[in-house]
Structure 1
Amino acid sequence: MLHEVVAVAFLVATGSVSASPTLKAGCTVSNYDDVAGAVSSCTEIVIKDMTVPAGKALDMSLKSGTKLTFQGKISFAKSNWEGPLIQIKGSKLTVQGASGHVLDGQGQLYWDGKGSSGTKKPKFFRIKATGGSVFKDINLLNCPVQCVSINSASDLTVSGFNIDVSAGDSGDLGHNTDGFDISSSNNIVVKDSVVKNQDDCVAVNQGSNMVFQNLDCSGGHGLSLSVGFDDNDASKNTVKNVTFTDSSVKNSRNGIHVKTHSDSGPGLIQDVTYKNIKLSNIERYGINVQEDYEDGSSSGNAKGNIPIKNLRMNSVTGTMTGSNSIAVYILCGSGGCSSWNWDGVNITGNKKSNSCNFSVTGFKC
């Protein structure tokens, strides 16, 4: 199938969540083919009760100051392509969902238990916003694969997201349904959001100055850093000054997961804090820090190519389940870990002993 991505430029003035009495005819768009016409004449846009045709996307390059509101049900017809189904770019944006709306990726039509390795599936929602943009109160249902990708963004706040891919639990069919993936971005806040999925709740790949606060994660792989995707450019393998705070992870494989890719080039993880994190019913690892990730899995051959410096844990508590559960697992490469300070780490119920090849200040493995 020929895949067509229609680029749409929106200019929306500041206004209320719902369409105001001054909204011009044609500014509330319910037919995909009418979007371009609304763009050319409107300063406030509402996308409402729309079905986006197969192989097409809402690719929206918004002008500075735009406000965009989703109303009703926005669904995306099935097509095996890379996506994303929605991409939003611009500065000083306000993008929001009206009460009762849903963006439905129809992931159940794609899931095959193989995620990104199976039939081609589109990523769902990509954000490339800057300048103090705010994305809030958005409901995402049934992502085919990765749900929200924050890429090349800065000075951005994301709040009130409800990401529900829990239907992918059935038959163990949903895979690689990451809640929030962040790369090449700085000054990012993600807060007050719920993620029900089958992979990382959050995965930070590259960037600096990020805060993740008041997240409720379940069904997936926890609060993660996954660093090392470039063979040559160390800046692309660097994460600095990231804080996860006041969040919960439940019914998940991992609670906290920090992994570096030993088959990549050099890089750095520095000044990362996990504070007031509550874990419950964690199946495999409460805290897992490993420097041996290679070809998508643990190799056992840890390297210090991406050092982890100043990793702080403060009040990380909770319970484990599962016959192979380990509360704390640390595998550092030579010279790969330094200046870690942990306080108030108390994870119980693990069936196997902790395993650490690095001594952490404030924690006895």
Structure 2
Amino acid sequence: MMAGFVRVGALCLLFTVVSGFDVWNLDQLEQAKKTGQKLITVKDLHVPAGKTLDFQGLNGTTIEFAGRVTFGYQEWRGPLIIIKGARYTVKGLPGHLIDGEGHRWWDTLGGNGGKKKPGFIYLHLEDSYVKDLKFKNAPAHGFAVNACRNLHIENVDIDNADGHTKGGHNTDGFDVAHCQNVKITGCRVNNQDDCLALSSGKNVVFTNNVCIGGHGIAVIGGYDGDNVEDILIKDCKVIKNNIGVRVKTMLNGKGLVKGVTFDNIQLQDISETGIVVIGNYLNSGPRGQPTRGCPIQNLQMTNIYGNVLKNGTKHLVWVADDASNWTWNSKIQGGDRLRPCQGIPKGVNVVCGK
């Protein structure tokens, strides 16, 4: 860091130039931490197998990614990258790529068996901004956004397209839990699981995002008694997923899902179901009758439009009798298969079978 002067008219202004610290290996990253660097540029770095690219303890730092970042192969849980702290700016420079080379782990089983697969990136941030990042081929889950406060994620590209033919599974885009005041905007996810899986938190916004090839956008209630409140999912496109949007609560789960809004969501070529709202969810698949204990309240499905393929279903609602205060306005085409519904609040019109 150095200081200099600029003369403007009769005034001399003192300015500060922050010089960057380039990181090519993990030893240099440790040196950057010890010397309190505030601008770190990661350049063409290879992380050894079984090691995490660890950006903890760097409050107030800007982290830039340049070139190609890669990781050695090992069966372990990871994560490959962790960023934890406050007042971070994390961004990608033009031409960079963070490449998980997930095909080395993919075996069609994801987290349900086979090889141990590391998560890609874990964020635990406050008052921070993450933007302009490009990720490719996550071994398993992509972004774990956990216990974050006042975080904005913008223009992130998660490209797992290779997993469609090479055995990718459980390659979630964004897994959000225990967060407050988080925005995810302008992102693109091509994957083999949920584009967004939001399981707890308050004041979370997911807008102007594109989801391709996966399992749609999901809000999940009933995990460990946690609540999901005041969620806005708006102006998104869900393309060639098996499900468009869904709210699912755990079988025998406890908690509350309140104030979830889906607004202006375009569905394109959904193969199974356009909108799903269920209260009998298990990781192995929905099962049996829905249970009380995690009511879905103040749910708004507004202007959900597009198409479901011919053998699919427009709507599936299967909840207990404790749901209340819903608004439903969908204009989904196709999906000729009608399935029975249960638990729809009085006065709400949802097209279902008998």
Q: How does 1:1-365 map to 2 (within 5 A)?
A: 23=19, 27-41=21-35, 42-118=37-113, 119-131=115-127, 133-171=128-166, 173-230=167-224, 234=225, 236=226, 238-264=227-253, 266-321=254-309, 323=311, 325-333=312-320, 335-343=321-329, 345-359=330-344, 361-365=347-351
- Cα distance in 1, alignment partners of residues 298 and 99 from structure 2: 40
Q: What is the letter of the counterpart of residue 158 of structure 2? A: I
Q: Deviations over 1:64-90 (max 9, x none)?
A: 321110110001111111111111011
- Cα distance in 1, alignment partners of residues 259 and 149 from structure 2: 19
The residue that corresponds to 1:8 in the other structure is none
User: Could you tell me the TM-score, scaled by structure 1's length?
Assistant: 0.88
Contact 1:186/1:207 (<8 A) preserved: yes
Q: Deviations over 1:320-344 (max 9, x none)?
A: 1153x110000012x331111113x
Q: Which runs of 5+ in 2 are unaligned?
A: 2-15
- Cα distance in 2, alignment partners of residues 64 and 294 from structure 1: 38
- Shift, 1:39, TM fit: 2.4
- Shift, 1:300, TM fit: 2.2
Cα gap change, 1:295 to 1:211, in 2 (>3 Å):
closer
Q: Secondary structure at the match of 1:39?
A: helix
Contact 1:262/1:305 (<8 A) preserved: no
- Shift, 1:304, TM fit: 1.4
Q: What is the letter of the counterpart of residue 86 of structure 1? A: I
Contact 1:263/1:294 (<8 A) preserved: no
Cα gap change, 1:22 to 1:303, in 2 (>3 Å):
closer
Q: Secondary structure at the match of 1:337?
A: coil
Greater Cα radius of gyration, structure 1 or 2: 2
- Cα distance in 2, alignment partners of residues 363 and 223 from structure 1: 22
The residue that corresponds to 1:16 in the other structure is none
Contact 2:223/2:255 (<8 A) preserved: no
Aligned residues: 334
Q: Secondary structure at the match of 2:338?
A: coil
Q: Deviations over 1:163-201 (max 9, x none)?
A: 000100005x11100000000111000000000001000
The residue that corresponds to 1:17 in the other structure is none
Q: Deviations over 1:26-72 (max 9, x none)?
A: x2111223221232233321111000000000121143321110110
Cα gap change, 1:39 to 1:259, in 2 (>3 Å):
same
Q: Secondary structure at the match of 1:355?
A: coil
What percent of counterpart residues are identical? 34
Q: Which runs of 5+ in 1 are unaligned?
A: 1-10, 12-19
User: Could you tell me the TM-score, scaled by structure 2's length?
Assistant: 0.91
